[in-house]
Chain A
Amino acid sequence: MRYLPLTDTDRSDMLAKIGAPDIDALFADVPEEARLSGPIEGLPMHASEMAVEKHMRRLSKKNLAAADAAFFLGAGAYKHHIPASVDHIIQRGEFLTAYTPYQPEIAQGTLQMLFEFQTQVARLYGCAVANASMYDGSTACWEAVAMAGRVARGKKHKVVLSGALHPHYAEVVRTMAKFTDDEIAGAPPSLTAKPDDDGLIARIDENTSCVVVQYPDILGRLPDLARIAEAAHDKGALLIAVNTEPVALGAIKSPGELGADIVVGEGQSIGVGLQFGGPYLGLFAVRDEKHVRMMPGRLCGETQDAEGKRGFVLTLSTREQHIRREKATSNICTNSGLCALAFNVHMTLLGEEGLRRLAMENHRLACMAADRLAKVPGVKVLNHAFFNEFTILLDGDARSIVRELTKQDILAGVSLGRLFPDIDCLSNGLLVAVTETTTEEDIETLASALEEMLA
């Protein structure tokens, strides 16, 4: 077996040193009846690198890769071009095969990277401090809700969710809240050109610990965060802003700037591929430094070594599970380190200028697509404003149209029926995302196919 270096001679020499007659003697604590005598039945035996690659390639070929289609899916995961050097750097063994940097003297590479990452995220979000990342956007969203409960010291138990929050994010919050006695006040999304900020504000009361608003929202619209923040703060509630497309923040104001207290989101767009949904990168930041000790997740901080040289360490770890046990701020141990590195490297390659250009190119192509699709008979563009994703309403069931279009290698978008299967009145809605990877030809392909289908 190519991954196991011991030879049979090594094994018998080592057993002799140990003083054990055979390998089974080392498993003596396992009761005889629980010990398996041979390899587990029903599973194949070891296989060569070639054989494994062949098997996996066959499975891979059964999928339609985004690059092989006219591709318009978004809804929390976006296809962007990732520079080749990003993947090269994250495959360096010193990053790829390192552990969590608990021994800072021999982990300054990971630690300095995390410090840079935290700074990039904090600035992008308009916040004071960001953590070293979380599992993904949906779990970061729940952690933000839990943190708001801690800030309210358990005195406020209502969580107001915008109806235009990603339904899977809302479902994660609902699942977790079953165990914390929080009341989750949700609402169905309304198919209007502008988000229903008034309706949301009306649901905030004195018992509200936080208001959760996605920006841009699940339909691609832009809620007025500043107004919602003011209304939340008037009632002593925190505003949690959720962003699932960080590229947007190269073009639009940051949530922190608009008054959000906690900003969380999905960082996958920068440096991390689609990967069928994971691993992704949860981003988490707080606008005001006073909330730092209530934050979940790892934090990297600057300090000095014994010779006075600058260095970095994981810090404020008394918040975490391995020290606080049942009093920890969260039970999670890991962050999404390698994805944070990919984000860090890609953002460094972009820089502010590159991010701005990337954002404007996304927006330009999205506007072009919206204009072209609006000309298709039977298609109506819903949004008043958007960044790179917008909702169209079709004369027909969007979900079946999307399925039909896959036959022409068109991945037309995410139907609202897929996202909200229980809400019949949304079934003709289709969420269309456009990025710098979308070509004018792709847009034309989609528009013509819809023309044909809706005719």
Chain B
Amino acid sequence: MNAPNASGWKPGTPVEGHNAMSGPDTATGNRALMLEEPLLFEIGHIETTGVDLPEPKDGPNRLGGFERNEPIGLPGLSEPETVRHYTRLSRQNYAIDLGLFPLGSCTMKHNPRLNEKIARMPGFGDVHPLQPVDTVRGALEVINELAFWLLDLTGMHGVAMSPKAGAHGELCGILCIRAALEARGDAREVILVPESAHGTNPATAAFAGYKVEDIPATPEGRVDLEALKARLGPDVAGVMITNPNTCGLFEPDMKAISDAVHEAGGFVYCDGANFNAIVGKVRPGDLGVDAMHINLHKTFSTPHGGGGPGSGPVVLSEALSPYGPLPFTARTADGVVHLVEEENADEFEHTKAFGRMTAFHGQMGMFTRALAYMLSHGADGLKQVAEDAVLNANYVLRSLEDVLDAPFGPSGPCMHEALFSDKGFGEGLSTLDLAKAMIDEGYHPMTMYFPLVVHGAMLVEPTETESKAALDQFIMALRSVAERAKAGDETLKTAPHYAPRRRLDETQAARKPVLAWNDPAMA
């Protein structure tokens, strides 16, 4: 933890005539450990290679006349240069390993290194997806064991393991709903989605051919049950609800919502992005949910990796399970785990699958990590995960509500994330300015401007893997920046001041996109 300050130094006590951040310009542009790194294309050469491979021998080939005869333009580096290039680049990134990452709805929790070790075991990392099944029974067992955990944790009936990430899982769930409706000859056209939903929900429903309509919210930030009931009818295929919702609140009427939707012949899709708040405490199956994707990279700690890979298995109710995609695994009474694909689906009485979502079996590398995480926590530990995640978020909420507007603070506790607005900020200062100032304090900003239903929203999700001391320091930093925002401190507008880069010109990037490197010498 980078608390002020074990070294004895305290902020606001500069040595006379000396400011640590403003010194003379350096000849290199570097600032000690902060190193500028050119692009690969500016330092590499097409003749250089960092891999020892034999010189090709001339002779006949069987490339059928398709031989390449033009250079490709791929510069190489030797191994030492390569390691240095990427190590230098890595140091320009913020990461969970460096500090608290309060990005609401993204669940940036610690990524245990045991999981990395396990994913690299040769029996998992070095097996081909199309090996004869008798040579990969252990891999199939991993998938099956993880599926068993997911079903137990959610109280659902079936699970599709192949979706590659949350949005892919969402699509899988909606396609199951569509397939189930089509199977009963029921052409419904509308999916209802709350205004506060993540943009993926309407994008997914629209892709699956549905018209998207908004569900109104109550002033307390919940789904308006009466308004929803009034809209339900024979044209509504289903609803997509995030629970806990994007305001960080539990939907207390969830069961009543599900009952009403089922009564009207529709299905309930639950966006599982916020499952971390309730894992081991509440089972979505008990609330009448028909389909829910689970982001293994959120709740079950597989690394985000700078934007993927994710993994998004989908748990399904009994009504939707027959329509789940291929392939999947099934354990027979003799304990053997089978791979169920197009050719043997009928042996496993799974003849209504809506199709296949990806070439192979899903994100195996994420399954091994997630299973290791679940086994490590156990049923008791996972319950503690939800409790500590919710406790940490409420601690942040109550420690800051005197200085930041918390629109739903008065109505009760939050779940795993605390929501604030920009109300009371000085003239011309925005959530963006506060967020960028948090960078100078050594933090990744919270989620900004989401959900859209709160003006200048700031969504803080500390997760359960933060200590109280880490939370206290974060609260101190956010309090200080919030006070500056309310006092109208103009220096916030130019933050960050101490990051590897100042604010970047996104308008220029979008007006004249430069999406690949072009050699200036060739221009």
Contacts of A349 in B (CB 8 A): 49-51, 76-77, 79, 82
Q: How far is the CA of A91 from the CA of B394 in the complex (A)?
A: 33
- B5-13, B116-124, B482-490: which lies at the interface: B116-124
Any chain B CB within 8 A of the CB of A372? no
Residue in A34, A110, A321 whose CB lies within 8 Å of B203: A321
Whether A63 touches B136, Cβ cut-off 8 Å, given contacts A29-B250, A276-B364, is yes
Are the CB atoms of A94 and B356 closer together than 8 Å? no
Interface status of B53 (Cβ within 8 A of chain A): yes
Residue B303 interfacial (CB < 8 Å): yes
Among listed B230-238, B259-267, B419-427, B503-511, interface-contacting one: B503-511
Query: Is B399 an interface residue, CB under 8 A from the partner?
Result: yes
From the candidates A15, A95, A251, name the one contacting B93 in the complex (CB within 8 A).
A95
Query: A302–B68 contact, CB under 8 A?
Result: no
Residue A61, interface by CB 8 Å: yes
Q: Is the CB of A276 within 8 A of B114?
A: no
Assembly CA distance A51 to B114 (angstroms): 11
In the assembled complex, which residues on chain A have CB atoms less than 8 Å from the CB atom of B359?
Answer: 76, 136-138, 166, 168-169, 172, 266, 277
Pick the contact of B40: A46, A348, A367 (CB < 8 A).
Answer: A348
User: Is B92 engaged at the interface, CB distance under 8 Å to the other chain?
Assistant: yes
Q: How far is the CB of A364 from chain B (nearest CB, A)?
A: 7
Q: Which of A120-128, A232-240, A443-451 contacts B (4 or more CB under 8 A)?
A: A120-128
Bound-state Cα–Cα, A136 to B44, Å: 28
Evaluate contact between B82 and A337: CB separation under 8 angstroms. Answer: no
Contact A52 B372, beta carbon cutoff 8 Å: yes
Residue of B nearest to A402 (CB): B132
Distance (Å) between the CB of B337 and the closest chain A CB?
A: 10
Knowing A63-B137, A321-B203, A322-B198 are in contact, say whether A94-B97 is a contact too (CB < 8 A).
yes
Name the residue in A2, A11, A97, A166 with the highest tally of chain B Cβ atoms < 10 Å from its Cβ.
A97
| Number of B residues, CB within 8 Å of A | 204
Q: Is the CB of A279 within 8 A of B164?
A: yes
Residues of chain B with a CB closer than 8 A to A411's CB: 128, 131-132, 135
A109 touches B278 (CB 8 A): no
Q: Complex Cα distance A220/B419, Å?
A: 55
Q: How far apart sit A14 and B40, CA to CA, in the bound complex (Å)?
A: 49
A119 & B517 in contact (Cβ 8 Å cutoff)? yes
Judge if B324 is at the interface, Cβ distance under 8 Å: no
Residue of A nearest to B113 (CB): A91
Residue of B nearest to A100 (CB): B307
A279→B171 contact, CB < 8 A: no
Q: Which residue of B lies closest to A215 (CB)?
A: B66
Q: Which of B89, B325, B371, B397 is in CB contact (< 8 Å) with A108? A: B89
Which of B452-487 touch A at CB < 8 Å? 464-468, 470
Q: Which chain A positions have C-beta within 8 A of B125? A: 273-275
A267 and B303 alpha carbons, distance in the complex (Å): 20
Q: Are A252 and B304 in contact (CB-based, < 8 A)?
A: no
Establish whether residues A175 and B356, one from each chain, have CB atoms under 8 Å apart when the complex forms.
Answer: yes
Report yes or no: A40 in contact with B379, Cβ–Cβ below 8 A. Answer: yes
A192 at the interface (CB under 8 A from B): no
A side interface size, CB within 8 A: 206
Judging by beta carbons under 8 Å apart, are B48 and A3 in contact?
Answer: no
Partner among B67, B175, B380, B436 whose Cβ is within 8 Å of the Cβ of A105:
B436
Chain B nearest CB from A429 CB (Å) reads: 14
Q: Would you call A287 an interface residue if the criterion is a C-beta within 8 Å of the partner chain's C-beta atoms?
A: no
Q: Mark A157-175, 1 if CB is under 8 A from B, else 0.
A: 0000000001011011011
Q: Tell whether B417 is near chain A: CB-to-CB under 8 Å.
A: no
Residue B30 at the chain A interface, CB threshold 8 Å = no
Which residues A336-350 have CB closer than 8 A to chain B?
A: 336-339, 341, 345, 347-350
Tell me if B255 is interfacial: C-beta within 8 Å of chain A.
Answer: yes
Provide the B399-418 mask, 1 if CB < 8 A to any CB of A, else 0.
10000000000001101000
Identity of the chain A residue whose Cβ is nearest the Cβ of B179 in the assembled complex: A178
Tell whether A424 is near chain B: CB-to-CB under 8 Å. no
> With A and B bound together, what is the CA distance between A357 and B130 in angstroms?
28
Say yes or no: A17-B399 contact (C-beta < 8 A), given A1-B377, A135-B164: yes
Say whether B217 faces chain A, with CB atoms less than 8 Å apart.
Answer: no
Is B491 on the interface with A (CB-CB < 8 A)?
no
Assuming the A-B contacts A4-B465, A348-B40, A348-B76, are A73 and B305 also in contact, with contact meaning beta carbons closer than 8 angstroms in the complex? no
Chain B residue at minimum C-beta to C-beta distance from A281: B309
Q: Does B340 contact A (CB under 8 A)?
A: no
Q: Does B494 contact A (CB under 8 A)?
A: yes
Q: Is B103 an interface residue, CB under 8 A from the partner?
A: yes
Distance in angstroms between the alpha carbons of A370 and B436 in the assembled complex: 60
A98 touches B94 (CB 8 A): yes
Please give, as numbers and ranges, the residues of chain A lying within 8 Å of B175 by CB-CB distance: 175, 179
> In the complex, A133 Cα to B282 Cα: how many Å?
36
A173 → B minimal CB distance (Å): 10
Contact at B118–A56, with CB atoms within 8 Å?
Answer: yes
Closest Cβ–Cβ distance, residue A389 to chain B (whole Å) = 12
- At the interface, yes or no: A315 with Cβ under 8 Å from chain B? yes
A76 to chain B, nearest CB (A): 6
Q: Which residues of A contact B199 (CB under 8 A)?
A: 320-325, 328
A306-B165 contact, Cβ under 8 Å, with A42-B152, A348-B50: no
Contact of A395 with B by CB under 8 A: no
Q: For residue B513, which residues in chain A have a CB less than 8 angstroms away from its CB? A: 292, 299, 301, 315-316
**Is residue B366 contacting chain A, with contact meaning CB distance below 8 A?**
yes
| Cβ of A439 under 8 Å from chain B | no
Contact residues in B for A422 (Cβ distance below 8 Å): 342-343
A-B contact pairs, 7 of them (CB 8 A): A25-B413, A36-B383, A49-B376, A62-B138, A71-B128, A97-B304, A278-B363
